[in-house]
Amino acid sequence: MASDTATASPDRRRPRAGGLRWLPGSRLGRLIIVLNLFGLAILIAGALVLNELRRGLVNARIDSLTTQGELIATIIDQAATVGEPEPMMDAAYASEILQLLSNPRSQRARLFDAEGRLVADSYWIADRVEWRTLPPARSRDDGSGLDLSLTGPEGEPSEGEVAAKAQAALQAEVATALRGVHWAGLRLGADGERVVSVSIPIQHVKAVLGVLTLEARDVDEIIAAERAALLPFILIAISVSLISSFLLNRLIAHPVRRLARAADRVRLARARAISLPDISRRDDELGDLSRSLEDMTHALSERIDAIERFAADVAHEIRNPLTSLRSAVETLGLVQDPAARERLMAVLQNDVQRLDRLVTDISNASRLDAELSRQAPTPVDLRRLASDVVALYQATVRPGEPRVVLQAPEMGEPMLVSGQEGALGQVLRNLIDNARSFSAPDGEVRLSLERARGQVKVIVDDDGPGVPTENLETIFQRFYTSRPKGAAFGGNSGLGLSIVRQIVQAHDGHVRAENRPGETEGDVAGARFVVTLPEARR
């Protein structure tokens, strides 16, 4: 049942991208493609829909028609004006001038007299007629055949209504110009399309002799041509966006998916580490992520191995006092001699104390990792901490026990290190307790502090027998004990120095053991433990 749950969990963590499943790649890859295309679609739509181009073309067309119309109106005023003192426009001569100056191929020119009547039209001069596409034939409502009328579909204006609106707009434009006001803008054409039109009054002094109207309907064609010119660039932009999307999918989404699958394999197959060499060699953020995941899983693997070794060591260390207890209990029922029974009871008490001390030290060691990772490091003054620890030992010393002496300057700048005060205090206590256990009665343990090259050194000296040269490193191993002859068996758990090294390494420092030379060559004056920690930056 547990395996089924574990197998199904990846699907719960990876919801399906419902509407995008038709795109290739992973969900992240599909998202990359859609977002790239969405941004490009907005850009294309803006280029095609926004009316900035149309507005610019309309304004340019109005300026062109106005310049041309003012020139034609001026010529007509100078050449086709007759009668004084009440001038009037010679319609026939004005029509000839319009024929010479207008360009009926690209625009339409109309000439109106002072009463607003149409006098000349460039379509007449060029022998052109207005034309438009007829709407498709429709069936009659009663099914009796085709409806051949020119009215639009239901809800749309008919051809006549469109023509009437266009004629009304033209008349309003001409009426405005007859009042001596120039008119320019967009209005409705006879075929329902908008045209650019200007109406210029033909004035002789202050009298309005007529109106010249010029209109152009090629703006939409120019805009369509501009959009058609944009089409190759749009296709190129879409192609580039698709290529970049698939490259991003290949370079980002696919490796991330591989990392996720590798993490699932580590979780489901109980593997110890993620290994993706081809991604780790990449010199980018994904390479950094892959290397970080590999380092993290390797660190977790090492921690798992350390926990397994710790559990095996704990089982081995607990087995010894338990075996001794079982033997003593089994023998106790067979021994009748009171002296022998007393010795067995002493063994039982010693083994119980040993078990209690062993369980306490194991509990402290197992909580150490959690405590070190839970608390944030803070600046700690080692001089003050060492002074407090030594003062505690001096206040609680009993007759016959070794004394603890602090050899450090009382004045000067604080010796600051970055770490946890409780853990560093445990380092000092463990080193002092270890030195006291090897010191003679009424002996002395010396704790000194030094500062050198951005580091702070803590040195603990004793006057004991020293450490065998071959054991200077092994004494820091878990559950290792090396006692001199005559020392009580089981008085130490072998975890004190191991805890010291663990805490010091967590503070980016190191600890070592050495023997102090005596007065004669080859003689050992005692053991020395040196802890080196990086000084905190002020």
Percent of the chain residues past pLDDT 70, beyond the cut: 77
pLDDT tens sequence across 9-34: 444 344 444 444 545 555 666 667 77
Domain with CATH 1.10.287.130 in the chain: 300-374
**Alpha helices by DSSP H, 179-284:** 219-248, 254-268, 277-280
Given this model, what pLDDT does residue 28 score? Answer: 61
Indicate the class that CATH gives domain 51-128+157-217: alpha beta
* Dihedral sign for Cα atoms in the order 132, 138, 141, 146: positive
CATH class of 300-374: mainly alpha
Q: The domain 377-538 belongs to what CATH superfamily?
A: Histidine kinase-like ATPase, C-terminal domain (3.30.565.10)
pLDDT (tens digit per residue) in 485-532: 544 444 556 777 888 888 898 888 999 999 988 877 778 888 999 999
pLDDT for residue 484: 55
How confident is the model over 294-346, as pLDDT tens digits? 888 888 888 788 777 777 777 767 777 788 788 888 887 788 888 888 888 88
7 — pLDDT class (breaks 50, 70, 90): very low
The residues pairing with 411 across neighbouring beta strands, listed in sequence order, are none
Q: How far apart are CA 317 and CA 319, in angstroms?
A: 5
The backbone region for 26, taken as left when phi is positive above 0, alpha when psi lies in -120 to 50, beta otherwise, is beta
**What is the C-alpha separation between 358 and 344, in angstroms, rounded?**
21
Burial class (CB in 10 A: 0-12, 13-18, 19+), 209: buried
Compute the chain's Rg from CA coordinates. Answer: 51
**How are beta strands 378-381 and 194-204 bridged, if at all?**
unpaired
- For the record, the structure tokens of 531 come out as 């802890």
Q: Cα separation of 314 and 451, whole Å?
A: 38
Residues in contact with 132: Cβ distance below 8 Å, sequence separation at least 6, in sequence order: 190, 191, 192
pLDDT digits 0-9 by tens, 368-395: 666 666 777 889 999 899 999 999 998 8
* Confidence check: pLDDT of 152 > 80: no
Against a cut of 0.75, is the pTM above it? Answer: no
**Dist. CA 132–CA 323, nearest whole Å:** 113
Q: Where, residue-wise, is CATH 3.30.450.20 in the chain? A: 51-128+157-217
Q: How far apart are CA 487 and CA 252, in angstroms?
A: 65
pLDDT for 129 beyond 80:
no
Q: Count of CB atoms within 10 A of residue 490's CB?
A: 18
Band of residue 449 on the pLDDT scale cut at 50, 70, 90:
very high
